[in-house]
Amino acid sequence: MDKLIVIVGPTAVGKTALSLALAQAVDGEIVSGDSMQIYRQLNIGTAKATPAEQAQTPHHMIDIAEPTETYSAARFVQEAQQAIAEITARGKVPILVGGTGFYVQALLGDKPLAAVDDIQDDAFTEKWTQIAHDEGEVVLRDALRKVDAVSEARILPGQIRRLVRALLVSDHTGKPFSEQKPEPQRLYDAFIIGLTTDRQVLYERINQRVDAMMTQGILAEAEIAMALPADSTARKAIGYKELFGYLTGDESLEQATETLKQASRRYAKRQMTWFNNQFTDIHWFDLVQQPSEITDIKEAVKRFMSE
């Protein structure tokens, strides 16, 4: 079983910096596990590694799709697995860096994808997404509970797309979505590093990141996102849709900026809940308040690679 280093954690916690440090320490190459960094042109809002950072070590699964493309988790798993295999074949160490928990789990094999992932019905999806928006998430949850109470209980609050997806598959197959997934099977010998810090410290880092994004030109990227078709995944990315109100003249720049900060903080909270609930083998570190722990991480990774 091939070895894989995995770095997870909420936005703005320092995953990119750690990945670069580890890549230098163990001769590694970086594989993005972020569902939005795959899109070209959308760089600032997705917090991609900068060109200078990407020049330090090879990066994979970044800028591989147009914003207008529909990009599935199944496609991500297939292409990321190929990248990891090629990195390993070159004698390098693959380092998966992710903020999108489901993508990371699917790649590891913890959340294996099944044939039902090919089921698509845009009209059904749009209908229930709109219902959730207009009438509230509770209406969507009630509908799912009637056909798949297990999935309804498992899916975290705010995960509208997963709720709609579970309802779609249950409705179209006549069998609960929760009963259609194969058994998990870890596909890699993975050493999972989780980065965390005090919540208020993280929130302040997020606020500072948003301020920096505003000066770096995120509004130009938001204009690109707003021009995409309404059902485009990239158009719904946190970091862009919160700025649409300013671009349409309905909000002040100050209001839109605060909306983005709030959405980013809430997203970070959901990420932490996800990683805490879904992974049992994470090695947690706080590099924000205890930067010296990076030495411990490097030593732990080197021991893992030598085993």
- Among candidate residues 157, 154, 22, 205, the one with its CA nearest the CA of residue 97: 22
Q: pLDDT tens digit string along 55-90? A: 999 999 999 999 998 788 888 999 999 999 999 999
What pTM does this model have? 0.80
At residue 115, the pLDDT reads 54
pLDDT tens, the chain, 307 aa long: 899 999 999 999 999 999 999 999 999 999 999 999 999 999 999 999 999 999 999 999 999 999 998 788 888 999 999 999 999 999 999 999 987 888 899 899 887 776 556 577 778 899 999 999 999 999 999 999 999 999 999 999 999 999 999 999 888 878 898 887 667 789 999 999 999 999 999 999 999 999 999 999 999 999 999 999 987 888 988 899 999 999 999 999 999 999 999 999 999 999 998 888 888 899 999 999 999 999 999 999 999 999 8
Q: For residue 307, count CB atoms less than 10 angstroms from its CB and return exposed for 0-12, middle for 13-18, buried for 19 or more.
A: exposed
| Residues 258, 263, 264, 268, CA torsion sign | positive
- Annotated binding-site ranges for ATP: 9-16
At residue 118, the pLDDT reads 58
At residue 237, the pLDDT reads 87
Q: Is 283 helix (H, G, I), strand (E, B) or coil?
A: strand
- Annotated binding-site ranges: 9-16
Domains and CATH numbers, the chain: 3-112+184-214+266-306 (3.40.50.300), 115-179 (1.10.20.140)
At residue 173, the pLDDT reads 77
- Annotated binding-site ranges for substrate: 11-16
At residue 85, the pLDDT reads 97
Alpha carbon distance 165, 283 (integer Å): 31
Q: pLDDT tens digit string along 233-286? A: 889 888 999 999 999 999 999 999 999 999 999 999 999 988 888 888 999 999
Alpha carbon distance 234, 71 (integer Å): 10
